[in-house]
């Protein structure tokens, strides 16, 4: 059975970090709409220019743009053996469209990473990303590397993956962070209710160390994947 994983959770919950780690370990692609949009912004494409002002305000890019990006990506050969989706879907409308895109494929395994708002604001206000490759400071190291090394990277201001300069994202200042959380509660949190009724849904505790989150994530995916297999490959 292909491992088709959706990572849900508010901004700052660690979806990108955990998606990167899990995809690397399992040898499947991490599909991040945020990364694809930032690539478009850096390239100065039409969609990138449209998305930049929206992202800098902390708002969500329109469903039609996001669905088009994901449709094209899931059609590639490397996604047939499985994938980890980070940043999509973000609305119930996007989730319904993803269900249609997944027709005839193995089920979606949905993991919600739950973190209190106060912790999210603290994390996002101090988060650093690479201006060249877009990795966050903790994404740019291998899973076995220690938290102290991540801290040293931030101190020297260089990315451990490509050596680029680390900086704060424009949409990570406190005012924009609070707006992003408000938008999340309004538009994205209903996804938890949309998926909660499925046997392939699990919620995990994201307010712990990245290693503990990774272990809980792997256990949850194994549990829901085995359950889906025993039930004959439930379709999304």
Q: Active site residue: 76, 90, 100, 186, which one?
A: 90
Q: Which of 147, 198, 137, 187 is nearest to 10 (CA)?
A: 187
For residue 156, what pLDDT is reported? Answer: 57
Q: Which of 84, 90, 29, 81 is nearest to 59 (CA)?
A: 90
Q: Which of 190, 7, 16, 23 is nearest to 108 (CA)?
A: 7
Q: What are the pLDDT digits (tens) for 12-25?
A: 899 989 999 999 99
Question: Has 52 been annotated as catalytic?
Answer: no
Q: Active site residue: 169, 178, 186, 230, which one?
A: 169
For residue 115, what pLDDT is reported? Answer: 93
34 has pLDDT over 80: no
Q: What are the pLDDT digits (tens) for 49-97?
A: 877 877 788 777 788 778 877 887 888 899 999 999 998 998 899 999 9
Q: Active site residue: 30, 73, 180, 202, which one?
A: 180
First vs last C-alpha separation in the chain? 14
CA 37 – CA 28 distance, rounded (Å):
20
Do 88 and 66 form a contact (C-beta atoms < 8 A)? yes
Q: Are strands 166-167 and 129-130 parallel, antiparallel or unpaired?
A: antiparallel
* Virtual torsion, Cα 15, 18, 19, 22, nearest 10 deg: -160
Q: Which residue has the higher pLDDT, 93 or 144?
A: 93
45 has pLDDT over 50: yes
Angle between the N-to-C axes of helices 63-74 and 92-101, in degrees from 0 to 180, rounded to the nearest 10: 30
CATH 3.40.50.150 fits 3-118+174-230, yes or no: no
Q: Active site residue: 15, 30, 73, 123, which one?
A: 15
Q: What are the pLDDT digits (tens) for 193-234?
A: 999 999 999 999 999 999 999 999 999 999 987 776 655 444
Question: Has 189 been annotated as catalytic?
Answer: no
Q: Active site residue: 21, 30, 127, 202, which one?
A: 127
Angle at 215 between CA 228 and CA 70, to 5 degrees: 55
Do 207 and 119 form a contact (C-beta atoms < 8 A)? yes
Q: Per DSSP, which regions of 154-214 are E strands?
A: 166-167, 201-205
The mean predicted confidence, pLDDT, of the chain is 81
For residue 86, what pLDDT is reported? Answer: 92
Angle at 48 between CA 161 and CA 93, to 5 degrees: 100
Do 122 and 181 form a contact (C-beta atoms < 8 A)? no
Question: Has 169 been annotated as catalytic?
Answer: yes
CA 76 – CA 82 distance, rounded (Å):
11
Question: Has 15 been annotated as catalytic?
Answer: yes
As annotated, the residues of the chain forming the CATH 3.40.50.300 domain(s) are 3-118+174-230
- Burial group, residue 189, by CB count within 10 angstroms (0-12, 13-18, 19+): middle
Angle at 1 between CA 91 and CA 203, to 5 degrees: 40
């Amino acid at each position: 059975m292909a491992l088709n994983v959706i990572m849900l959770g508010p901004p700052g919950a660690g979806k990108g970090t955990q998606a990167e780690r899990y995809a690397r370990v399992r040898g499947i692609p991490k599909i991040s709409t945020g990364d694809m949009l930032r690539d478009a912004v850096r390239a100065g494409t039409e969609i990138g220019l449209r998305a930049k002002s929206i992202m800098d305000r902390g708002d969500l890019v329109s469903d039609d743009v996001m669905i088009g990006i994901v449709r094209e990506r899931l059609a590639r050969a490397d996604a047939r053996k499985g994938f980890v989706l980070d940043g999509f879907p973000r609305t119930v409308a996007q989730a319904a469209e993803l269900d249609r895109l997944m027709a005839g494929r193995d089920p979606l395994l949905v993991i919600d990473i739950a973190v209190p708002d106060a912790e999210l604001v603290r994390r996002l206000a101090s988060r650093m990303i690479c201006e060249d490759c877009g990795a966050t400071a903790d994404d740019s190291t291998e899973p076995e590397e220690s938290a102290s090394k991540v801290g040293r990277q931030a101190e020297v201001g260089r990315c451990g993956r490509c050596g680029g300069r680390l900086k704060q994202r424009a949409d990570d200042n406190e005012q924009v962070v609070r707006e992003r959380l408000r938008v999340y509660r309004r538009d994205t949190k209903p996804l938890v209710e949309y998926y909660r009724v499925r046997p392939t849904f699990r919620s995990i505790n994201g307010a712990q160390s990245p290693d503990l989150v990774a272990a809980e994530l792997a256990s949850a995916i194994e549990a829901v994947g085995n359950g889906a297999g025993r039930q004959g490959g439930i379709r999304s």
